[in-house]
């Protein structure tokens, strides 16, 4: 099973992708939050290249939202760096990582459907084979709510304080936290 998260500059399917992360979990294994973070795939993409060469889009409201995030999260995804790669390079790195795991037909969980829509749109635009077929995608919020009687898409995890560890909107932290909630979530009651 994979947990996937993407950070973008728009809420449209044509959005610029800032970064994305994914973690693979086996529901029969035990994991700590730190292990999930350490074992996650992460790539940061070159936003200017996406706008210039592929006409990917940005929204002012999303740019404004990013400017309000903490410096650690902005540095991770929003602020350009020399290490940023073009989409095709990031796609190939990610595909290699997924293929190395070699779990065909694995479920892929994401928080809502924007992540799938943006990734699928970009892959289709560049005529790349989808890394995950559309029928493998699931919504992690729905799964967490059904497993724990939550109505928020979040739940408690015994002996884990997300305030102390999780930087929301850092895609690596987001996938690790979603994985913990799927595996070890408990009812909030």
- State pLDDT tens for residues 166-180: 999 999 999 999 999
CATH of 2-140, one of 3.30.420.10, 3.40.50.261, 1.20.140.10, 3.20.20.60: 3.30.420.10
Rounded distance, CA 72 to CA 31, Å?
24
Q: Is the whole model's pTM more than 0.85, yes or no?
A: yes
Locate the domains of the chain by residue range.
2-140
Using one digit for the tens of pLDDT, what is the confidence trace for 104-156? 899 999 999 999 999 999 999 999 999 999 999 999 999 999 999 999 999 99
Statement: residue 188 has pLDDT above 80: no
Q: Please work out, in degrees rounded to the nearest 5, the angle formed at the alpha carbon of residue 140 by the alpha carbons of 35 and 174.
A: 40
Statement: residue 69 has pLDDT above 70: yes
């Amino acid at each position: 099973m994979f947990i996937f998260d993407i950070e973008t500059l728009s809420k449209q399917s044509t959005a610029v992708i800032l970064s994305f992360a994914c973690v693979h979990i086996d529901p029969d294994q035990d994991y700590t939050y730190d292990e999930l973070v350490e074992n996650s795939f992460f790539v940061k993409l070159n936003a200017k290249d996406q706008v210039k060469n592929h006409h990917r889009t940005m929204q002012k409201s999303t740019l404004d939202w990013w400017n309000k995030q903490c410096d650690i999260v902005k540095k991770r995804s929003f602020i350009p760096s020399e290490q940023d790669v073009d989409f095709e390079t990031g796609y190939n790195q990610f595909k290699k990582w997924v293929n190395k795991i070699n779990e065909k037909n694995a479920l892929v969980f994401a928080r809502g459907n924007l992540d799938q829509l943006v990734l699928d749109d970009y892959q289709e635009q560049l005529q790349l084979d989808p890394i995950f077929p559309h029928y493998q995608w699931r919504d992690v919020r729905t799964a967490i709510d059904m497993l724990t009687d939550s109505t928020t898409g979040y739940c408690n995890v015994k002996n884990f304080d997300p305030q102390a560890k999780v930087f929301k909107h850092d895609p690596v932290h987001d996938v690790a936290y979603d994985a913990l909630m799927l595996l070890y979530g408990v009812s909030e009651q």
